[in-house]
């Protein structure tokens, strides 16, 4: 007996004008048929707007079908009588950790569900205890959610669902807003629930690595299930997935490339171990001694211009002189050269965002000096407003800063503040919108009508329009799906190449950064721990792991191979480089 079963499920979002006439109909779900067996770990993949979140809301009876039926534990969700029973059977965890915690203390929030369904008092306490233990958050039961990290908040949200003792838990992109550490913690908690308590899990995500361990995968596109099967069956067709710009784990991609090059490797490799086993069977060149030789790929060292920004012994403390003093930056010395493309990496709280906010004077260092083109930015006669136009800053989730009535006017905001005349403002806005490749018919639309990816581009254009010499982007790909992420990163690279400006990209995704930047600065506890080319930095992959960061998957594969005694290049950081190196090692 299936726990969830949908038959010809259709959902239409209908927009009406003020008189109630239908203005437009958008089909979010288009005759979806699927079923989930009790105890399974299911993943649903798909782009933003593919209908996966809409489907999740149907399982929870937050939405009801326009056509067709969905049954949860044999209860028809359209039947009002069952609404609460359905929600109790299939609990739901949402994407944004902040927006689903209702109470101001952790345990009161976990109790919210059981209170609503009228569980007796003594029983609530037992359930809260149990649920917090399941997700490893019992230590925090008296804490305020505001003081928790994103990953911890998501685990509280999971505990909140578990306290209602559901049979099934639906997680709608629970890790989209988290850093790698938080993501791992949340996934571990979910897997434990599935394994030990037999809870059916439906994980909606666009991170492929999260899918690998599930029992069954549904891939959705345009409101339809367009692929389904075990992870192995899904990732078999790498070309098809790529065509639909869905990501594939790097290991799988590497195996696929090697197979294409004619190597005898089984189809569809999902883990490092599988790849290592497959490659071990091949006749790869062995090293004379097992010791790695370090870097072999001679890097073409690019030459850069003058120093644009210099940080000289910069320290920053939050609430200095109080008991709550936190050192966010600790004696940082850095120089940034004209034309460099830099990645700043670090986990949440490592000081990376604080660091970049110093560069345009939004935060003033408690100690030390910052020089922009040789001038001390803390000098009395230094024009800090001018600096902000020279060093452009795109914040995390920049689309949240859009405010004007049209996209075009919003992009004009920066140039207008610079005091440029109207003609120049318009010219700048046009150029910037062109650079971010936003379709021209959207220029006069309201920024709030755009899709997520489009909004982000419009917001980035708003900063570029000021023609900054240095462009800083704080997590520009956060919350985007793989396609949106590739688009934005490609765009940034294009702009960098076309205009030759200095770009600083803040991120916690090593894989994103490795493919694009010339130099990586790794921040840890307020200091730059490593600073060098991607190859130099990723050679320290073991230390990086200790900092809660991870090198790209291929770096691990290459090091696995070296440890097994093969003669490959340890410094390969991209799939293409790894493929080349492995093929070279082939006798």
Partner 1 sequence: MLREITLGQYYPAKSILHSLDPRVKLFSTLVFIITLFSVDNVVLFAIVLVTLFGIIKMSHVPFSFMVKGLRSIVVLLIIAGLFNLFLTPGITIFSFGFLTISDVGLKNAVLMTSRMILLIIGTSVMTLTTTPNQLTDGLEKSLGFLKKVNVPVHEISMMMSIALRFIPILIEETDKIMKAQMARGADFESGGLIKKAKNMVPLLVPLFVSAFRRANDLSYAMEARCYNGGEGRTKMRPLKYSSLDQRAYICIVAYIIIFYAVKVVL
List residues near partner 1 by CB under 8 A: 57, 60, 62, 84, 87-88, 91-92, 94, 96, 98-105, 107-108, 111-121, 124-125, 128, 142-146, 160-161, 164, 319, 322-323, 357, 360, 362, 385, 388-389, 392-393, 395, 398, 400-403, 413-414, 417-418, 448, 462-463, 466
Q: Which is nearer to partner 1, 11 or 256 (CB)?
A: 11
Q: Which is nearer to partner 1, 495 or 550 (CB)?
A: 495
Question: Among candidates 270, 291, 275, 277, which has minimal Cα distance to 563?
Answer: 291
Question: Among candidates 472, 436, 577, which has minimal Cα distance to 514?
Answer: 577
Strand partners, 9: 32
Instruction: Give the 3-state secondary structure of residue 329.
Output: strand
Q: Which is nearer to partner 1, 150 or 534 (CB)?
A: 150
Q: Which is nearer to partner 1, 142 or 303 (CB)?
A: 142
Smallest gap from Cβ 376 to partner 1, in A, equals 20
> Rounded distance, CA 562 to CA 433, Å?
47
Q: Which is nearer to partner 1, 45 or 92 (CB)?
A: 92
> Rounded distance, CA 97 to CA 155, Å?
9
Smallest gap from Cβ 247 to partner 1, in A, equals 26
Q: Which is nearer to partner 1, 117 or 261 (CB)?
A: 117
> Rounded distance, CA 396 to CA 522, Å?
18
Smallest gap from Cβ 317 to partner 1, in A, equals 14
Smallest gap from Cβ 104 to partner 1, in A, equals 5
Smallest gap from Cβ 83 to partner 1, in A, equals 9
Q: Which is nearer to partner 1, 87 or 337 (CB)?
A: 87
Q: Which is nearer to partner 1, 414 or 528 (CB)?
A: 414
Instruction: Give the 3-state secondary structure of residue 153.
Output: helix
> Rounded distance, CA 85 to CA 81, Å?
8
* 8 Å CB contact between 551 and 538: yes
Q: What is the DSSP pairing of strand 75-76 with strand 367-372? A: unpaired
> Rounded distance, CA 192 to CA 390, Å?
50
Question: Among candidates 368, 359, 365, which has minimal Cα distance to 328?
Answer: 365
Smallest gap from Cβ 418 to partner 1, in A, equals 6
> Rounded distance, CA 429 to CA 465, Å?
6
Smallest gap from Cβ 554 to partner 1, in A, equals 35
Q: Which is nearer to partner 1, 46 or 91 (CB)?
A: 91
Q: Which is nearer to partner 1, 65 or 462 (CB)?
A: 462
Q: Which is nearer to partner 1, 231 or 476 (CB)?
A: 476
Q: At what angle do helices 482-499 and 422-435 cross, to 10 degrees?
A: 130
**How far does CA 481 lie from the centroid of its chain?**
8
Smallest gap from Cβ 129 to partner 1, in A, equals 11
Q: What is the DSSP pairing of strand 22-36 with strand 75-76? A: unpaired
Q: Which is nearer to partner 1, 395 or 541 (CB)?
A: 395
Pair of tokens at residue 80: 């009002």
CA Rg value for the chain: 26
DSSP of 240-281: HHHHTT----HHHHHHHHHHHTT----S---SHHHHHHHHHT
Helix H, strand E, coil C: the string for 390-447 is HEEEECCCHHHHCCCCCHHHHHHHHHHHCCCCHHHHHHHHHHHHHHCCCCHHHCCCCH
Smallest gap from Cβ 400 to partner 1, in A, equals 6
Smallest gap from Cβ 78 to partner 1, in A, equals 16
Smallest gap from Cβ 362 to partner 1, in A, equals 5
Q: Which is nearer to partner 1, 127 or 206 (CB)?
A: 127
Pair of tokens at residue 454: 């489009």
Determine if residue 432 is left, alpha or beta; phi over 0 gives left, psi from -120 to 50 gives alpha, anything else beta. alpha
Smallest gap from Cβ 332 to partner 1, in A, equals 20
Q: Which residues does 274 contact at the CB level (< 8 Å), separation at least 6?
A: 251, 255, 266
Query: Positive or negative, the Cα torsion across 202, 204, 206, 207?
Result: negative
Smallest gap from Cβ 243 to partner 1, in A, equals 33
């Amino acid at each position: 007996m299936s726990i969830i079963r949908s038959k010809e499920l259709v959902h239409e979002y209908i927009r009406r004008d003020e008189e109630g006439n239908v203005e437009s109909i958008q089909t979010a779900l288009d005759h979806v048929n699927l079923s989930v067996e009790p105890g399974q770990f299911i993943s649903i993949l798909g782009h933003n707007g593919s209908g996966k979140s809409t489907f999740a809301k149907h399982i929870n009876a937050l939405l009801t079908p326009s056509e067709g039926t969905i049954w949860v534990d044999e209860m028809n969700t359209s039947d009002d009588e069952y609404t609460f029973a359905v929600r109790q059977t299939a609990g739901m965890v949402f994407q944004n950790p902040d927006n689903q915690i209702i109470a101001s203390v952790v345990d009161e929030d976990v109790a919210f569900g059981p209170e609503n369904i009228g569980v007796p008092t003594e029983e609530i306490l037992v359930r809260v205890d149990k649920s917090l233990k399941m997700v490893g958050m019992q230590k925090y039961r008296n804490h305020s959610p505001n003081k928790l990290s994103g990953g911890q908040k998501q685990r509280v949200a999971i505990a909140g669902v578990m306290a209602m003792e559901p049979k099934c838990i639906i997680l709608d992109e629970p890790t989209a807003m988290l850093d790698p550490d938080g993501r791992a913690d949340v996934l571990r908690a979910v897997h434990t629930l599935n394994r030990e308590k037999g809870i059916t899990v439906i994980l909606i995500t666009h991170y492929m690595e999260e899918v690998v361990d599930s029992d069954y995968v549904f891939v959705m596109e345009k409101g339809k299930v367009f692929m389904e099967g075990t992870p192995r069956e899904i990732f078999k067709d790498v070309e098809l997935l790529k065509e639909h710009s869905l990501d594939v784990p790097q290991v799988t991609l590497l195996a696929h490339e090697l197979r294409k090059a004619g190597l005898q490797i089984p189809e569809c490799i999902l883990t490092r171990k599988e790849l290592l086993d497959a490659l071990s069977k091949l006749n790869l060149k062995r090293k004379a001694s097992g010791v790695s030789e370090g870097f072999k790929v001679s890097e073409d060292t690019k030459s850069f211009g003058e120093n644009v920004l210099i940080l000289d012994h910069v320290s920053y403390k939050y609430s200095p002189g109080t008991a709550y003093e936190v050192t966010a930056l600790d004696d940082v010395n850095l120089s940034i050269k004209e034309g460099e493309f830099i990645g700043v990496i670090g986990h949440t709280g490592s000081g990376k965002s604080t660091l970049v906010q110093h560069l345009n004077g939004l935060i003033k260092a408690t100690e030390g000096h910052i020089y922009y083109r040789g001038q001390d930015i803390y000098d009395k006669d230094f024009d800090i407003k001018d600096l902000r136009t020279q060093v452009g800053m795109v914040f995390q989730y920049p689309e949240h800063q859009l405010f004007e009535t049209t996209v075009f006017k919003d992009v004009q905001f920066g140039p207008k503040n610079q005091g440029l005349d109207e003609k120049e403002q318009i010219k700048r806005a046009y150029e910037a919108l062109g650079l971010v490749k936003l379709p021209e018919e959207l220029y006069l639309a309201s920024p709030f009508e755009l899709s997520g990816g489009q909004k982000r581009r419009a917001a980035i254009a708003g900063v570029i329009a000021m023609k900054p010499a240095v462009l800083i982007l704080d997590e520009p790909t956060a919350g985007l799906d793989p396609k949106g992420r590739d688009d934005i990163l490609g765009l940034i690279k294009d702009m960098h190449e076309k205009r030759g400006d200095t770009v600083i990209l803040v991120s916690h995704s090593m894989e994103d950064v490795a493919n694009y930047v010339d130099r990586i600065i790794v921040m840890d506890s307020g200091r730059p721990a490593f600073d060098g080319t991607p190859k130099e930095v990723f050679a320290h992959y073991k230390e990086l792991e200790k900092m809660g960061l991870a090198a790209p998957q291929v770096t691990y594969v290459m090091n696995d191979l070296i440890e097994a005694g093969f003669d490959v290049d340890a410094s390969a950081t991209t799939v293409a480089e790894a493929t080349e190196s492995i093929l070279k090692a082939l006798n």
